[in-house]
Structure formats: structure tokens, C-alpha cells
């Protein structure tokens, strides 16, 4: 877990979206995909560009959506992130089929991608549920109400 102390809490300056498992897993996947593309042949630049864009899109959309004003907007960003993870999964499949990566590496990255996809979809369901007002007790990431207390002076 990035930017957390031994007790699993974040430092005051770390953005709260970084606590989301969906973001953490997607971010780790984006780093691994970037490392993978460094080993691809130079003449496959178009493919490198596409897979990196898709991989980076997932954690970026989770972060952006988390910063939006409503759960409905957050849910929409999660839909985009989820779609990007499916795109990454396809590119990993394609790279393995055209023998640009070995089956073992492809399978490992595909598993990571599917895990990120499952987590993102779970977060999407929670955000949609909260946006509809059907379950206000289980928010995707809840802040303590005391953090919004202001002095009246």
C-alpha cells in the first residue's frame, strides 16, 4: 500500500483516493504495463501508445471521479476506468497472440488487470447505490463529520 504508515493510515497530505484498493491496483497495473512497453520493439510505437493510454486512464479516472462533486459523477468516471481496464486486458491478449510477450507474463498481467477491474466494478456498484440513496450507511470512502467543524468566531 503506497503512502500509508505502518497502521494503514495516510499522511495528511496524501489524497484520499489513494486509499481506494481499486485505485492502488489500477495504478500498480499502469506501472507494470509501462515497464512492459519499454521492452516492446520500437516499430510497435502505436501499440505502446495505445496500451499505456488505456492503462493510465484507469487510475486517472478513478482519481478524477473521486474529486468530482457527486457520487453520480464519480460513478461515471468509474465506468470509464472499468472500460479502460477491459481495453488493457484486450491489448495484453493481443500482445501474447502476436508473440510480443510470453504467455506467463501475459497471464500475470491479465490477472492483475482483472483484479483491478473487479475492484473498480465493486466500487462502481457502491457509488451507484449511494448516488441513488438506497444505502447511505456504506459509503465508498467516508470522512469523519468532525473534519467539517468550523469556529463560529
The whole-angstrom separation of Cα 79 and Cα 116 is 13
With 90 as the cut, is the pLDDT of residue 6 above it? no
At 13 the pLDDT is: 73
What domains can be seen in the chain, in order of their start residue?
18-148 (1.20.1440.60)
> What is the spatial distance between Cα 47 and Cα 61, in angstroms, rounded to a whole number?
21
Higher pLDDT: 139 or 115? It is 115
pTM (2 decimals)?
Answer: 0.78
Q: What pLDDT, on the 0 to 100 scale, is given for residue 12?
A: 61
Q: Which residue has the higher pLDDT, 123 or 135?
A: 123
E strand or H helix at 37, and its extent?
helix 21-37
Q: Is the pLDDT of residue 143 over 70?
A: no
Chain centroid to Cα 11, Å, comes to 20
Concatenating the DSSP letter of every residue in 91-142 gives HHHHHHHTTSS-HHHHHHHHHHHHHHHHHHHHHHHHHHHHHHTS-SSS-SS-
Q: Which three cell numbers stand for residue 86?
A: 477491459
* Cell representation of residue 25: 491496483
- Read off the pLDDT of residues 85-105 as tens digits, 9 standing for 90 and up: 999 999 999 999 999 999 999
Amino acid at each position: 500500500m503506497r503512502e500509508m504508515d505502518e497502521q494503514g493510515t495516510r499522511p495528511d497530505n496524501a489524497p484520499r483516493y489513494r486509499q481506494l484498493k481499486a485505485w492502488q491496483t489500477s495504478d500498480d497495473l499502469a506501472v507494470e504495463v509501462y515497464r512492459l512497453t519499454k521492452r516492446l520493439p520500437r516499430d510497435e510505437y502505436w501499440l505502446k501508445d495505445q496500451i499505456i493510454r488505456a492503462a493510465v486512464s484507469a487510475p486517472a479516472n478513478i482519481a478524477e471521479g473521486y474529486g468530482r462533486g457527486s457520487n453520480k459523477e464519480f460513478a461515471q468516471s468509474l465506468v470509464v476506468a472499468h472500460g479502460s481496464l477491459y481495453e488493457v486486458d484486450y491489448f495484453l491478449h493481443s500482445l501474447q497472440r502476436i508473440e510480443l510477450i510470453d504467455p506467463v507474463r501475459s497471464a500475470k498481467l491479465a490477472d492483475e488487470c482483472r483484479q483491478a477491474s473487479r475492484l473498480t466494478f465493486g466500487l462502481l456498484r457502491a457509488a451507484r447505490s449511494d448516488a441513488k440513496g438506497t444505502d447511505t450507511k456504506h459509503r465508498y470512502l467516508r470522512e469523519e463529520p468532525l473534519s467539517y467543524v468550523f469556529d463560529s468566531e
